Amino acid sequence: MRAPGRLGGMERGNAAGFTVYLVEDSPAVRERVRSLLEEIPGVSAAGYADTAPDAIRGVVEAQPDVVLLDMQLRQGSGLDVLRALREQAPGVEVYMLTNFAAEPFRSAAKRLGARDVFDKSTEFGQVRELIARRAGIPH
């Protein structure tokens, strides 16, 4: 099992800033999210994972302010992560950023504790606004 990673170019989260942990199996999407986060002052990446077990361990360890979670992972699913985080890190806000954003998936994710679900293809821009708003940064 590979250890949870860091998003290239971004420092690990710090106590003074707002931290985001990314759970995503696509390197291209991770890079896009990294770029998006770098644009927001005071926001840093707490790390990333591309499997459910790594995500659960990484989020519990990092205790980020927000988790951006994909539905489909290399091993396991975002729903597996939501189930575990509900018990192991109940104070962490989780938002789904996924290609599986149809209503049945949205409902299941929200039922398991996701605050909201964003479609990667049509709602990606809303994620920047969400993170900036949660971090208290004007967008």
35-79: pLDDT as tens digits: 989 899 999 999 999 999 999 999 999 999 999 999 999 999 999
- Evaluate the CA torsion angle 27, 118, 43, 72 in order and state its sign: negative
CA–CA dist 125, 118 (Å, integer): 9
Q: Report the pLDDT averaged over residues 111-137.
A: 93
For residue 33, give the 3-state DSSP assignment: helix
The model carries a pTM of 0.87
Top CATH class of 19-134 equals: alpha beta
| Residue 30 CB contacts under 8 Å (≥ 6 apart), including other chains | 7, 22, 24, 48
